[in-house]
Chains A and B, each alone.
Chain A
């Protein structure tokens, strides 16, 4: 009898796991399923809310085509010549869409609080960190989906055109968008976790978001700014996010153009000058009016690191806020 048992254990040995391991595995799995179900519910709510879905897709188009086209024309009037402002603005609008949708998605926490469902979640044995993560993933998913719709527009001739290169860029933009969405949703969840007033939410969000957005370089290049503003853009985490998207989207695109003097040069010559940094600088010295729009302020790796680090800090705050108890 005893021999048998020992033999059995020896036979099963490799498959047996210690109780501790088992508990660890299941509690980890439980946390994951908690994240999943919170995410799934938020996603279902978004998907079933048709007006919200449609409205979310229309807003970026308004910015891109109405504001973008108007400004592009305005620059010509002001003497900047032909610009590809809509193209320049595209990654900015992408960033804006992700930013606003991500941060505003956390209003779902306020709704849950208002309609009592938050209590159902908080009284359940699902870890609070799973709730926070589920909310972050839920908001990020809707933001990325909206960004994806915008990515389709990249193929329009007035933006990047229908090329293989555009497809390659679009594919590269997806993971960057996901990173930005996760970071920004964490901001929203960190704020929404404890907030109780519906009135305060938009006020607070606009108070933070509008400056963040305007200082991000989404609408204008971050160059030639007064030093105080330049400083603010450097400490704005979103400016790294926009820079990251712009670095990929505008790689190899010539946005400018042409100052009045340079426009008199034959296009092949101009292109050659602009492709060589030294010549371009020289040309700028000779004709100081010639604008060169920077498509990238920081190296890409720095952008990614800053956005990721910022996101992690915000996520930690969001989880901490959820863990606090009245």
Chain B
């Protein structure tokens, strides 16, 4: 941790695969003890950034400091400071959960005397104690994920990296995993760095970096990001829309109506939840329905990038990235990112 309380600091981190710039001069700080989220569509450069931070990949240029150690020059110290939960499973299926943890304990130099206790502790935390001696191949997807999180915590890392921690899991399991993560932050005070393309998941974060096409385009708390989009959208339906419109204009001259042929009485307003009770208290026209739409991170992303986060377009990008990383040749379609 440096004097500002930042546990991760990056300096112009760049990763190129041939001509493709996967991560384009990224700069950010992660504060000790926070849940920091990387939000963006698949192929935006989230995993590549994480792979560089976790020393799996070497940056093309730039560097980062984690827990006081440079990711290029002090890889071993960085590796000891972090726990990693990868997007794709990384367990040995033919070993039992306990054996997987044991392997981890040895490669992370956990003293023999402490191993059993720590393994018991993390297994209990993810409720896998009963199944600890079963081979991992008999586990469900959610159990495997929990085991991976447990494993990532076994060596008491300063930072836990979670790459798409709940991808492909059912909502219930997803909920449980988030319970663990928030509990972890509270109990252990550990810093959590995660990537996601689920908006609901980004809401759990203390701060979010929105990343697209390899660049960070916004970085703030979820609330403030949403505030930047604008106020709440309020949509009224009344028995006499023209009269209602006149009354609105008279009472709130500053209101700007949103021009949408499908919605005569739509407008934007800060703190909609306070505005609406005030409005209906003395409104002359009979109101049929009121709808308040709070800006979501989807709206944030839409406003920032002009597109929605969607799985399908992302998968294609991901496939292209994989192709590029394997062959070293960039696919031709992303001219704007060529250098």
Give A residues with C-beta under 8 Å from B: 30, 33-34, 36-37, 41, 44-45, 48-49, 115-117, 119-127, 196, 325-326
A45–B90 touching, CB < 8 Å: no
Stretch binding the partner chain, chosen from B105-113, B239-247, B282-290: B105-113
**Count of A-B contacts with CB under 8 A?**
73
Residues of A with C-beta under 8 A to B58 = 325-326
11 A-B pairs whose Cβ atoms sit less than 8 Å apart in the complex: A33-B109, A45-B95, A48-B94, A117-B92, A120-B84, A125-B79, A125-B107, A127-B76, A325-B58, A326-B57, A326-B325
A306 to chain B, nearest CB (A): 35
Partner of A117, one of B54, B57, B79, B90: B90
Given contacts A45-B92, A124-B79, 17 further A-B contacts (CB under 8 A): A33-B106, A33-B109, A37-B106, A45-B94, A45-B95, A49-B94, A115-B93, A116-B90, A117-B91, A121-B107, A122-B56, A123-B55, A124-B104, A325-B56, A325-B57, A326-B56, A326-B58
B56–A123 touching, CB < 8 Å: yes
Which B178-221 residues sit within 8 Å CB-CB of chain A? none
A125–B103 touching, CB < 8 Å: no
A125–B92 touching, CB < 8 Å: no
B93–A125 touching, CB < 8 Å: no
Q: A126 vs B325: C-alpha distance in the bound complex, in angstroms?
A: 25
Residues of B with C-beta under 8 A to A116 = 86, 88-91
B80 at the interface (CB under 8 A from A): yes
Residues of A with C-beta under 8 A to B82 = 123
Interface size class of B (residues with CB under 8 A): 20 to 34
Contact of A120 with B109 at beta-carbon distance under 8 Å, contacts A44-B99, A326-B57, A326-B325 already known: no
B90–A125 touching, CB < 8 Å: no
Q: A206 vs B88: C-alpha distance in the bound complex, in angstroms?
A: 31
B109–A30 touching, CB < 8 Å: yes
Residues of B with C-beta under 8 A to A326 = 56-58, 325
Partner of B109, one of A41, A119, A121, A125: A125
Residues of B with C-beta under 8 A to A122 = 56
Contact of A119 with B104 at beta-carbon distance under 8 Å, contacts A41-B92, A124-B79, A196-B326 already known: no
Residues of B with C-beta under 8 A to A196 = 326
Find the B residue at minimum CB distance from A127: B76
Q: A126 vs B106: C-alpha distance in the bound complex, in angstroms?
A: 9
Q: A326 vs B56: C-alpha distance in the bound complex, in angstroms?
A: 7
Residues of B with C-beta under 8 A to A124 = 79, 104, 107-108
A28 to chain B, nearest CB (A): 12
Partner of B95, one of A33, A41, A49, A125: A41
B107–A37 touching, CB < 8 Å: yes
Contact of A126 with B107 at beta-carbon distance under 8 Å, contacts A45-B94, A115-B93, A117-B90 already known: yes
Would you list the 10 A-B pairs with minimal beta carbon distance, nearest first? A116-B90, A124-B107, A37-B106, A125-B79, A126-B107, A120-B90, A125-B80, A325-B58, A125-B76, A123-B84
Question: Residues 45-79 of chain B: 1 if any A CB is under 8 Å from the residue's CB, otherwise 0?
Answer: 00000000011111000000000000000001001
Find the B residue at minimum CB distance from A29: B109
Contact of A123 with B95 at beta-carbon distance under 8 Å, contacts A33-B106, A37-B107, A326-B325 already known: no
Q: A37 vs B95: C-alpha distance in the bound complex, in angstroms?
A: 13
Residues of A with C-beta under 8 A to B109 = 30, 33, 125
Residues of A with C-beta under 8 A to B93 = 115
Partner of B89, one of A45, A115, A123, A125: A115
Partner of B103, one of A37, A119, A127: A37
Residues of B with C-beta under 8 A to A48 = 94
B103–A41 touching, CB < 8 Å: yes
B54–A123 touching, CB < 8 Å: yes
B57–A44 touching, CB < 8 Å: no
A133 to chain B, nearest CB (A): 13
Find the B residue at minimum CB distance from A121: B107
Residues of B with C-beta under 8 A to A36 = 106
Q: A115 vs B88: C-alpha distance in the bound complex, in angstroms?
A: 8
Q: A44 vs B90: C-alpha distance in the bound complex, in angstroms?
A: 17
